[in-house]
C-alpha cells in the first residue's frame, strides 16, 4: 500500500469510527429524551391525580 493509500485508509477508518460514536451518542440522547418525557408525563399525571383528590373530583378509570 502506498503512503497516500495508507493515509486514506486510516482517515477512512477514523471517519467510520467517529460516525459510529456519533450514532451511539445520538441513540443515548434519544433514550434519555424518551425517559425524560415519560418521567414528566408520570409526574404530571400523579400531580393531576393528587389535585383531583384534594378537590374531591374523581378521575374515570381507564
The per-residue pLDDT for range 4-53, each reduced to its tens digit, is: 788 888 999 999 999 999 999 999 999 999 999 999 888 888 777 776 66
The beta-strand segments (E) located in 1-62 are: none
Q: How far apart are CA 56 and CA 62, in angstroms?
A: 19
Closest CA to 61 of 44, 49, 43: 49
- What distance in Å separates the CA atoms of residue 21 and residue 56, rounded to the nearest whole number? 52
Question: Is the whole model's pTM more than 0.85, yes or no?
Answer: no
Domain ranges in the chain are: 1-55
- 55 confidence band (pLDDT: 50, 70, 90): low
Helix (H, G, I), strand (E, B) or coil at 58: coil
* Per-residue cell: 21: 460514536
Amino acid at each position: 500500500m502506498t503512503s497516500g493509500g495508507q493515509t486514506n485508509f486510516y482517515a477512512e477508518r477514523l471517519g467510520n469510527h467517529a460516525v459510529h460514536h456519533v450514532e451511539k451518542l445520538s441513540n443515548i440522547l434519544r433514550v434519555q429524551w424518551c425517559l425524560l418525557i415519560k418521567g414528566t408525563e408520570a409526574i404530571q399525571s400523579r400531580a393531576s391525580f393528587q389535585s383531583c383528590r384534594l378537590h374531591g373530583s374523581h378521575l374515570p378509570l381507564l
